[in-house]
A and B are shown apart, each in its own frame.
Chain A
Amino acid sequence: MLILECPYCGVKAEETELGAGGEAHLKRYGPGSDDDQFHDYLFMRENPKGVHFERWRHANGCGKWFHAARCTMTMEVFGTYAAQTTEPPQEIKDKITAKRPGWSWREFSDAAE
């Protein structure tokens, strides 16, 4: 059973207390963006076999959205962090690197600019 620690209220919540919100760090492009960018934002998904970043909501708790770093191959949780960020904090990236040397994900939205 999946257990995630809510970074806001500190509760270790199991899956039935949470709502899944899909892939994290999707960038919604602004005015002037082209069709491809908007298509990718709406439909393209990373769907990685391994390290993944997701949005979750502590639905039956404090009600807030947060992010989680997880492995889709082993169901291991690397950590959770606040939603007010465009990429995972360095601390989470370091934790993942320690366990999955050489891991990669798509470029984070800020890094891509």
Chain B
Amino acid sequence: MKRYSAFAVAREALRYHTGWERAWRSPEPKRHYDVIIVGAGGHGLATAYYLGKNFGITNVAIIEKGWLGGGNTGRNTTIIRSNYLQDPSAAIYEKARSLYETMSQDLNYNVMFSPRGVIMLAQTEHEIRGYKRTAHANALQGVQTEWISPERVKEIVPIINLHGPRYPVLGGLWQERGGTARHDAVAWGYARACSDMGMDIIQQCEVTGVRTEGGRVAGVETTKGPIDCDKLGMVVAGNASHLSEMAGFRLPMESVALQALVSEPIKPCMDVVVMANTVHGYMSQSDKGEMVIGGGTDAANNYTQRGSFHHIEETVRALVETFPMVSRLKMLRQWGGIVDVTGDRSPLISKTPVGNCFINAGWGTGGFKAIPGSGWAMAELMATGHSPLTEEFTIDRFKEGKFIDESVAAGVAH
């Protein structure tokens, strides 16, 4: 792999950019791999990357039914934060956030990580208490967050309306080291690094069955023929229930649509991410100038990657009252992704009833921020059978009553 650098740009400029090579290979599948990862989204590619980097396992295939990074990795609103209430969540999200800080250097790929700061607005007395509690919990967890006054919120976000028609802004939970990154670049950077380590990324190859022998996984049936493996990682977000059914077990989750939309590009007006959870909307400004907007999930099960119109209306209404200038914006695009939501709104990173078959799913509405931490932990779990970061995120936790309840702390969009 040729390294990307300022020198490389200068060199290619002098020869009409004829020297750039493909970022990753598109090989035909081999008959056998040590590890197969199903799903070439951020989490799947990150899992493969850390299997190679941290554990030297490179005989790996990443199988993708569509195109690389075309699912939720390319459909989210790119927000990165780790201000969670529960210890296991804070640990894995903070691991992810810290890996984002050095990801561009690590992958030699510019993922445009921008630690611009994330504010979660408190607009009710209940939220004030909730966020102060989260700030205290974060202090104990080593996650840097702070409770800020409405005046400080206005200072950071001049376009905000503190005295909205329904809910005043009473303060906020401020994570200065949170921010955004370029979502496609995260997938592309990991893919390039995986391919460079000799891993095979096989796109447009759908898994149609999971083969087991004596209670252990033996391989998968795909639209490009059967492929054997010693270990299988299922990292397919919204389709996890469908895939686990092929392997013969069920999951405690449901798949629903989550939508996002962007406005026309405008001049820079807001250099942080703002989440308004009571009125149900969040917004940031992309480097292109578009206002990137998200809201809540639909209520009913859905696999169509489309959302419903009344949720867009709800989200935009929330933002108009929080940021009056939004009323003058034209919206350019709207899209949906299928998110998998568990009973306690926390993910599953776990062994499964099938031997050597592992699952990483249930990230619900907030998976992008977790990509590097999730991949790091999943790789450790798959390689060694144990990871301190995944200990609490088992499928069995519901039976034990050991929930990691983030339905309040995780903020908007549940």
Report the separation of the CA atoms of residues A15 and B311 in the bound assembly, to the nearest whole angstrom.
10
Tell me if B250 counts as interface (CB < 8 A to partner A).
yes
B251–A1 CB distance below 8 A: no
Nearest CB on B from A20, distance (A):
4
Q: Nearest B residue to A47 by beta-carbon distance?
A: B241
Chain B residues closer than 8 Å to A42, beta-carbon distance:
343, 398
B251–A47 CB distance below 8 A: yes
Which of A5-13, A67-75, A78-86, A95-103 is the interface stretch?
A67-75
Within 8 Å by CB of B310, from A1, A35, A44, A52, lies A1
Within 8 Å by CB of B255, from A22, A35, A39, A47, lies A47
Chain B residues closer than 8 Å to A43, beta-carbon distance:
252, 342-343, 398
A72–B399 CB distance below 8 A: no
Chain B residues closer than 8 Å to A48, beta-carbon distance:
241, 301
A75–B255 CB distance below 8 A: no
A15–B301 CB distance below 8 A: no
Task: Flag B288-301 by CB within 8 Å of A: 1 or 0 each.
Answer: 00000000000111
Tell me if A28 counts as interface (CB < 8 A to partner B).
no
Task: Flag A10-45 by CB within 8 Å of B: 1 or 0 each.
Answer: 000001100110110000000000011001001111
Chain A residues closer than 8 Å to B304, beta-carbon distance:
72-75
A44–B250 CB distance below 8 A: yes
Task: Flag B193-216 by CB within 8 Å of A: 1 or 0 each.
Answer: 000000000000000000000000
B309–A20 CB distance below 8 A: no
Tell me if B302 counts as interface (CB < 8 A to partner A).
yes
A-contacting residues, B301-324, CB 8 Å: 301-304, 306, 308-310
Within 8 Å by CB of A16, from B306, B310, B342, lies B310
B309–A39 CB distance below 8 A: no
Nearest CB on B from A100, distance (A):
14
Chain A residues closer than 8 Å to B122, beta-carbon distance:
none
Chain B residues closer than 8 Å to A54, beta-carbon distance:
300-301
A45–B254 CB distance below 8 A: yes
On whether A39 and B398 interact (CB within 8 A), knowing A44-B252, A73-B303, the answer reads: yes
Chain A residues closer than 8 Å to B255, beta-carbon distance:
47, 72
A15–B252 CB distance below 8 A: no
Q: Nearest B residue to A36 by beta-carbon distance?
A: B399
Chain A residues closer than 8 Å to B300, beta-carbon distance:
2, 20, 54, 70
A72–B303 CB distance below 8 A: yes
Nearest CB on A from B348, distance (A):
11
Chain A residues closer than 8 Å to B342, beta-carbon distance:
43
Report the separation of the CA atoms of residues A94 and B302 in the bound assembly, to the nearest whole angstrom.
23
Chain A residues closer than 8 Å to B301, beta-carbon distance:
47-48, 52, 54, 72
B308–A1 CB distance below 8 A: yes
Q: Nearest B residue to A14 by beta-carbon distance?
A: B310
- Sorted nearest first, the 6 A-B pairs with minimum C-beta distance are A20-B299, A47-B241, A43-B252, A43-B398, A39-B399, A20-B300
Q: Could you jot down 18 A-B contacts, CB within 8 Å?
A: A2-B300, A2-B308, A16-B310, A19-B299, A20-B299, A43-B343, A44-B250, A44-B251, A45-B252, A48-B301, A49-B239, A49-B242, A52-B301, A54-B300, A72-B255, A72-B303, A73-B304, A75-B304
**B contact set with A: CB distance below 8 Å:** 239, 241-242, 250-255, 299-304, 306, 308-310, 342-343, 398-399
User: Given A1-B308, A52-B301, A54-B301, list of 17 further CB < 8 A pairs?
Assistant: A1-B309, A19-B299, A20-B300, A23-B254, A39-B399, A42-B398, A43-B398, A44-B251, A45-B241, A45-B254, A47-B301, A49-B239, A70-B300, A72-B255, A72-B301, A72-B303, A75-B306
